[in-house]
Structure 1
Amino acid sequence: MAKNTIKPDSTDPISSEGMAVKRLSVEGNIAVGKSTFMKLLSSFFQEWELVTEPLRKWQHVQDSAPHGGMDNLLQLMYDDPSRWSYTFQTVSCMTRFKTQIEPLSRQLLSLREPVQVFERSIYSDRYVFAKCLFELGHLNPMEWTMYQEWHSFLTREFAEKVHLNGIVYLQATPETCFERLQKRARKEEKTVQLDYLQKLHEQHENWLIKKTTDVHFEHVKNIPVLVLDVNEDFKNNPLASQRLATKIENFLAEL
Structure 2
Amino acid sequence: MSWRRLTNQRTASDGLALFTIVGNSFTRICARRFFCGDRPTRSKKTRTVPGTSSKRFEEMLGTFENLRNMKLKTPVQGATDDIRNVQNEFSVSQDQKNFTVSVEGNIGCGKTTLLEYFKHSDSVQALSEPVEQWTNIQGHNALGLLYEDPSRWSFSFNMYAQLTRIQMHTKPHTKPIKMMERSLYSTRYCFVENDYRSQTINGLEYAILTEWFNWLSKTQKTELDLIVYLRADPEVCYERIRKRSRKEESCVPKKLIDELHNLHEEWLVKQTLGSIPAPVLILDANRGYDKMMSLYEDKRREILCGHV
Q: Given the alignment of the two structures, is residue 40 of structure 1 paired with residue 106 of structure 2, yes or no? A: no
Q: Pick the aligned partner of 2:125 from 46, 49, 59.
A: 49
Deviations 1:106-155 (A, max 9, x none): xx2xxxxx111100000000000110011000010000000000110111
Q: 2:297 maps to which residue?
A: 245
> Of residues 172, 188, 208 in structure 2, which corresponds to 1:103?
172
Q: Which amino acid aligns with 1:229?
A: D
Structure 1 residue corresponding to 2:265, chosen from 193, 205, 214? 205
**Structure 2 SS opposite 1:162:** coil
Q: So what's the TM-score if we normalise by structure 1?
A: 0.80
How far apart, in 2, do the equivalents of 1:167 and 1:250 lie?
11
Structure 1 segments of 4 or more deviating over 6 A? none
Q: What is the match of residue 281 of structure 2?
A: 226
User: What is the alpha-carbon distance in structure 2 between the residues aligned to residue 95 and residue 170 of structure 1?
Assistant: 22
Q: With structure 2 as the length reference, what TM-score do the two structures score?
A: 0.66
Deviation for aligned residue 1:97: 0.3
How far off its partner does 1:199 sit? 0.3
Q: Distance in 2 between matches of 1:35 and 1:52?
A: 7
User: What is the number of residues matched between the two proteins?
Assistant: 214
Q: Secondary structure at the match of 1:71?
A: coil
Residue 250 of structure 1 deviates from its aligned partner by 2.8
Question: Looking at CA atoms only, which structure, 1 or 2, has the larger radius of gyration?
Answer: 2
Q: SS of the residue aligned with 2:126?
A: strand
Structural mapping, 1:46-195, within 5 Å: 46-62=122-138, 70-105=139-174, 108=175, 114-158=176-220, 161-195=221-255
Identity over aligned residues, as a percent?
35
What is the CA–CA distance in structure 1 between the aligned matches of 2:108 and 2:173, rounded to whole Å?
29
Secondary structure of the 2:119 match is: helix
**1:177 Cα offset (Å):** 0.4
| Contiguous gaps of at least 5 residues in structure 2 | 1-36, 40-95
Paired amino acid for 1:180: R
Whether contact under 8 Å (2:125, 2:173) holds in the other structure is no
* Residues 231 and 285, structure 2, Cα contact 8 Å, conserved in 1: yes
The answer to whether the aligner puts 1:21 opposite 2:74 as a matched pair is no
Q: Distance in 2 between matches of 1:240 and 1:231?
A: 9
Once residues 132 and 47 of structure 1 are traced to their aligned partners in structure 2, the CA distance between those partners, rounded to angstroms, is 35
Deviation per CA, 1:171-223, whole angstroms, max 9, x where unpaired?
110000000000011111121111110000000000000011033xxx62xx2
Shift of 1:50: 0.7
For residues 245 and 215 of structure 2, the distance between their equivalents in structure 1, rounded to whole angstroms, comes to: 37
**Per-residue deviation at 1:228?**
0.7
Q: How far apart are the structure 2 equivalents of 1:146 and 1:202? A: 24
> Whose RCO is larger (CA < 8 A, sep 6+)?
1
Q: Over aligned residue pairs, what C-alpha RMSD do you find?
A: 1.8
* Alpha-carbon shift at residue 17 of structure 1 (Å): 4.2
- Cα shift at 1:241: 1.1
Q: Does the 8 A contact of 1:41 with 1:245 survive in 2? A: no
1:47 partner letter? S
Q: Secondary structure at the match of 2:288?
A: coil
The 1-side partners of 2:145 and 2:292 are apart by 37
Q: Is the 1:29–1:201 Cα contact (8 Å) retained in structure 2?
A: yes
CA–CA separation in structure 1 for the residues paired with 2:112 and 2:247: 17
CA contact (8 A) 1:75 1:188 kept: yes
Amino acid paired to 2:261 = H
Distance 1:245 1:144 in 2: 40
Letter in 1 for 2:211: E
